[in-house]
Structure 1
């Protein structure tokens, strides 16, 4: 209540209210593509993000850009942030413009300006046309995009070399154990105006993840999902030994067991670590970002017991909601940290702590079979009518 006197009646809404933390959106894709300056559509600009929600929003873009948008929409993406960069006249210029500049937010850094323009922040980034290298040095555009993915807590989808299993595995070693990078190897084949064309599989993987985020939750990883609009793959991989070898090395692939082309692999490039599964990384990022967004509302409030209790309730409320929805496992915790000291409290510093766990995807499903000789044959013999009781005949 106000402390200053006023002759009359005033009703004021309490400022000491609970802030409800809402899970942040995770399903927005981001696609960066270089195009010739002459092909820049009217009304669009290089390095300026635009939102695509339906094919009509992309009217006038070059065919290669439209092909990637088509792949994304076919496989369930709902919102795509597109950034176009100037292809230039030489390969070096194409790379330089795509790398861009962090200060001016050009190239891959343009994804960071989407929110400032009132657009959704992209969380699933794709770089069609830039493949992971299998020999040093690594692609500079991918290297720069990794820093952007880390800044905005996004997942970066990267295409492998698309040549051999060995080359794909070597590409992972060049990129390193990056938990916000998911590599898919082998282009998809699409029919475009009656012609079969190879297109990056990274767009399809990101779109599948966007679809799962929207229809289920980010706890579902981009694996074992039937692809739409795909007529083949340029690098067939057999289910079993070959697919497992790639997945175990941190490479996602596409298989066909006779029922269509399916994404296969929930992996990040951080294979062999606790961050090797893409859903674990993404849900963790989502929780952190959701807590940050909610707790910004508490900045400036007096450090009182009531407000500290409200903050604890906000954190516990979000984690409980995610538990109920199956996004995280039961048993999460959120509360005031025991690290708080008078010396830090007087400086306005308050410390909270939380603990939660994201369910790992079912990856290695093992079923042990046993023979039931005694039970099966005993049941068979007992089921036959007209049995002869040999003991009674003696």
Structure 2
């Protein structure tokens, strides 16, 4: 994994303007060599200028030492090298100064201007010196040699360091651009990973909520009926043994059905654990998609497409009637097939509403209405006030039934309304789009 942009910036450990001690040592060494060169070249300069040799040596040392500031002020180094060119001094300083100038971040027009000045100065000095040598008889070549030697010398001193510096500067800028791009990509990947974790957490929470809702719908209704039948069995055990036997058989049947549904649900959860373990091995950037896919697969496996349907409402109402509830079913419109999730949601709403009647209004007469409309299906479960003498099974309530019904209906884009009636009963209504 790449590091961040801040980690790419080297820690400043060198003195003054140097980032590292190694750079300071290198510049100091170059300045020492340049000062030594200029000091040696200062001797013939002093003799030609008619000044003391010591003054020429000191001048050469001072001029050559300017190379130590090449990283801080490259323009000053190049200007000094141009200024001492007539004295035929500072060739190392000219080469290193041009290289540093070309590799810096200065505008190209400044680099081109100073390089041109250095080229012209070197050409003039070389031209004058070669012409003097030719005139004094030291060189006996033709007239073509003077301009040729001047151009070759000036280009040889100026062009190579300039081109090398431009290449190094361009490469440095390219590396910085690539590093910044890599840092940007890393930040984007980190952001995507954080979002993927959030999506995975959201998917896990949604899956936990869905499983809790399924468990509630699958178990609560049948267990509630079992408790009602057990209470009735206790009441008639001595008075009507035959009815007690029938109630006991119903309790056994409902218990077996509840156990079967619990086993199916636990089987789905157990198989989902293996899927979750496999998906933990995927890269972090794919966690969100994998979690969403796992939730979708778990929803399919848990019976969303194979759950109860509207054709089983008669059996559901028959079970409530067998538990002593006076319940009637009325259907409006022409019955037709809906999407499995729509039929399952409608069935669960009616089932949970009947369970609530068993819990809170035992013995109350209940009306179940189902309406098939053009683009939607509507259902309503309304119970009358329970009779005062009605026995209560004292069923516990977790308060999640209405919440679960509303979540189911809202997830399909439907409308859910529940509340007490003016007559003292309770009404649950839901409208679900047909598609």
Output the TM-score relative to the length of structure 1.
Answer: 0.21
Structure having the higher helix fraction is: 2
Structure having the higher strand fraction is: 1
With CA pairs under 8 Å and 6+ residues apart, which has the higher RCO, 1 or 2?
1
Output the TM-score relative to the length of structure 2.
Answer: 0.19
Larger Rg: 2
